[in-house]
Amino acid sequence: NMFGGSGGRFEACFGLRDKARMADAEAAHEAAPPPPEAAAKPAAKAGGAVSKENEKPAGQGNPAGASAAPGGGGGGEEGGKESKTVEANREKDEQKDIMTMVVGHARRAAKSSIEATAIFVGSQGAGKSTLMQRYTAPDREEDPKPTPALDYSFTRKEVKREGAGAAGGGKEVCHMWEIGGGSALANLLDVPLTESTVKNVTVCVVVDMSRPAEMFPCLAFWMERVRARLREVETQLRAKPATAKVMDQLRERAKKRFSDKHPDMVGEFQRKMMSLTGINLLIVAHKADALADRDPDMKKVMGRTLRFVAHTNGAGLVYTSTRDKQSMVNLKKMLNQQLFREAPVKTKVVDHNKYLYLMVPSGADTLKDIGQPPVQPSEKDTPLDLWRKAFQGYFGTSPPLTMGVAALPEVDPKKQFSEKAVDEARAHKEHALWLYKESAARAASEAAKATSKARPAGGAKAPSSSRPPGDKAASSSSSSSRPSGDRDKKRSTAPPPAEAAGA
């Protein structure tokens, strides 16, 4: 009635599915073997006995008065129970299948999905914040603020690999860290570089090419700082049996970046020079446009020195400048390869005479291509010492970097933490305060001039009262003419000093 009397339509909409399920259940019940209880009954009773329902009087048994089939007593109720049981089992099997699919998909997605970590370190003012902003938000025009200590951000990237990201969304996350303050706050490297992030971490050492004398000390300091932190992480990993071989696996992964026939991985002397850290390293020589007008020999020594340091540490090298779009594209390709496992960068640019912005992926260089340093070697000098001497001969020396609070440079709060709206409001208030002080000083000056004009000539002060001089003497004489008894009486009634103070 609620459906407008269309019972047949209601049956067609909602009853067909139940009918199909009931038919399947009955077919399964007929095909099933008889239960043990039915098999244990006597053959005569199972074969030709009349059911209890047929023994009942007419009208109390089967509504149609027809006899039930042999052995079919109570078949309707038992068939309904069996159909419900089969349907419940089928639903459970369907749920198991769905959950199996979901769990399997989640596991495959977890294997393909990563959460990479990028850490930008280097000298203060080298442009780390600018490079991070150009990578994460290239359309932002606002200049980044200097980083006082440790800064965190993140970026997401749509990937094309199937099943990547959470629930196959195709997006992967990269955690971006920047350590400010130069070498003074290098101990903050312990925060982002941990045993949980070491598998998918990339450390970018940014050097300032506009200050070439500071480049080599900066590289030497941060390479040693990264290695020291990795030794601490390795100690923590080896303390647990489940992670004891993680660093060994990372070093093997780093060796795979070099081909099996790489000349620097075959000889004994070359293998000793190669010191792979196991993690992704990238040397970013920023502000490379400062070398545009330099002598070609200086460019050659600069490039080969950076290539030697990068190659022997298993790192990549890229020249960048915010004024050159192609150099920023090169940096993006190198980072995407290491952070999001994109296609390897195979382009190698090392010609100093034709190109200002060099790019050497990890494992693409060789010691033979780099060449020998242009200095006279000695017995005690290592190859790194020879390249240091060659570099300092062209660009000068700089004191080694130190770590600690004492090395922090002086900071100007107005420049370091500038806010346009706040600075304008403060300037307005300071101007209003200056006007108030000027007005108060002017009013005080006018008041002083008015007071000086009101005084009589000669500087003599006006008498304080109009009382004649003789009144004072008269007053003293009148007070002395009082009886002494009155004075003694008042003196005796006055409390002692101690009692008065106590009261």
Q: Cβ–Cβ contacts within 10 Å for residue 360, how many?
A: 26
pLDDT band at 356 (very low <50, low <70, confident <90, very high): confident
Maximum mean pLDDT: which of 31-45, 181-195, 452-466: 181-195
Question: What does the alpha-carbon distance between residue 14 and residue 318 come to, in Å, rounded to a whole number?
Answer: 68
Mean of pLDDT values over 333-358: 90
Mean of pLDDT values over 61-88: 53
170 touches 160 (CB < 8 A): yes
List the one residue out of 198, 191, 116 whose CA is nearest residue 155: 116
C-alpha pair distances (Å), 147 with each of 131, 193, 245, 293, 420: 13, 18, 36, 30, 17
- pLDDT higher than 50, residue 175: yes
More confident of the two residues 28 and 215: 215
Q: CA-based angle 343:347:353, to the nearest 5?
A: 160
pTM: 0.61
The pLDDT value given to residue 334: 95
List the one residue out of 66, 85, 320 whose CA is nearest residue 205: 320
Mean of pLDDT values over 298-308: 95
The pLDDT value given to residue 260: 75
Q: Label residue 269 exposed, middle or buried (CB < 10 Å: 0-12, 13-18, 19+).
A: exposed
More confident of the two residues 454 and 188: 188
List the one residue out of 308, 279, 274 whose CA is nearest residue 200: 279
Q: Cβ–Cβ contacts within 10 Å for residue 217, how many?
A: 19
**pLDDT tens readout for residues 428-447:** 999 999 999 999 999 999 99
The pLDDT value given to residue 110: 53
Average pLDDT along the chain: 76
- pLDDT higher than 60, residue 3: no
**pLDDT tens readout for residues 125-169:** 999 999 999 999 888 878 888 888 899 999 988 877 554 444 445
By mean pLDDT, which of 272-286, 397-411, 416-430 is the weakest?
397-411
pLDDT band at 419 (very low <50, low <70, confident <90, very high): confident
Tokens of 491: 């003196």
Q: CA-based angle 478:482:484, to the nearest 5?
A: 145
pLDDT band at 82 (very low <50, low <70, confident <90, very high): low
Q: Cβ–Cβ contacts within 10 Å for residue 495, how many?
A: 10
Question: What does the alpha-carbon distance between residue 411 and residue 404 come to, in Å, rounded to a whole number?
Answer: 16
Question: What does the alpha-carbon distance between residue 140 and residue 157 come to, in Å, rounded to a whole number?
Answer: 17
366 touches 264 (CB < 8 A): yes
The pLDDT value given to residue 423: 86
Q: Label residue 112 exposed, middle or buried (CB < 10 Å: 0-12, 13-18, 19+).
A: middle
